[in-house]
């Protein structure tokens, strides 16, 4: 873009930004939004943390679809995976290897903790899954082939339980006479933990696969 055009574009955007700023300042006070409803229903939700309750119960359907988005991105990346030469990393760095050897077990523990604590404080499947994926990425930086040599098939199978368990719980609720994803109140907390556990595994494997590799499930190479 030429200089003149850039200035014009910037000017236009600045105008729009100012307009939007004035709009935001005019947004009316609505007294806490949906907070009161969330807090009122929180005891029924099976968890004690408001955001987790919204994510996994009240608006659990969004979370379910979000897991599908992750899987979709992986399928899409898989479809694009041919003929890219991965860059060769220099992985023979002592400090890196030592650090990763120390960090990875810690990260796994942190991930498990985040999963568990999500019921009471900020945390949950996504946070835990991201940390776990980070651990995997660190390992890949040290030893790029660590997955393909050991647990490739298992890892690939772990891609789908997140979505499937969520779906099964949701459909199961319908069999019990409720709506989709309407957890029976007495076991809501346990169901949420179950969903989150599998979701964490799938999220971690998906994120790491997006970074480091391409799945080869189904016997095709």
Q: Smallest distance from the beta carbon of 201 to another protein, in angstroms?
A: 15
220 binds another protein (CB under 8 A): yes
Q: What is the DSSP string of 75-120?
A: HHHHHT-TT-PPPPP----HHHHHHHHHHHHHHHHHHHHHHHHTTT
Site for another protein in 52-71 (CB under 8 A): 53-55, 57-63, 65-66, 68-71
219 binds another protein (CB under 8 A): yes
User: Quick check: 127 and 112 in contact, CB under 8 A?
Assistant: no
3 binds another protein (CB under 8 A): no
Q: Smallest distance from the beta carbon of 44 to another protein, in angstroms?
A: 9
In 3D, which of 74, 88, 115, 101 has the Cα closest to residue 206? 74
The tokens describing 196, both together, are 């989150």
Q: Smallest distance from the beta carbon of 143 to another protein, in angstroms?
A: 22
105 binds another protein (CB under 8 A): no
The tokens describing 112, both together, are 């498990």
Site for another protein in 163-192 (CB under 8 A): 163-164, 167, 170-171, 174, 178-183
């Amino acid at each position: 873009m030429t200089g003149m055009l850039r200035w014009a574009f910037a000017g236009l955007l600045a105008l729009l930004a100012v307009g939007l700023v004035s709009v935001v300042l005019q947004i009316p006070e609505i007294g806490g939004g949906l907070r009161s409803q969330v807090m009122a229903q929180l005891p029924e939700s099976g968890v004690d943390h408001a955001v987790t309750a919204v994510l996994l119960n009240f608006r659990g359907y969004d979370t379910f679809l979000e897991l599908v988005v992750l899987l979709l991105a992986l399928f899409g990346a898989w479809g694009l995976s041919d003929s890219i030469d991965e860059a060769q990393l220099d992985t023979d760095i002592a400090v890196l290897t030592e650090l990763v050897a120390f960090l990875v077990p810690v990260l796994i523990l942190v991930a498990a903790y985040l999963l568990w604590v999500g019921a009471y404080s900020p945390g949950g499947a996504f946070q835990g899954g991201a940390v776990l994926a980070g651990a995997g990425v660190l390992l890949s930086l040290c030893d790029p082939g660590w997955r393909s040599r050991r647990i490739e098939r298992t890892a690939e199978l772990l891609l789908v339980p997140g979505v499937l368990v969520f779906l099964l719980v949701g459909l199961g609720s319908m069999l019990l006479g409720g709506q989709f994803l309407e957890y029976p109140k007495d076991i809501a907390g346990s169901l949420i933990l179950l969903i989150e556990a599998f979701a964490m595994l799938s999220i971690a494997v998906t994120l790491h696969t997006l970074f480091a590799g391409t799945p080869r499930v189904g016997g095709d190479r």
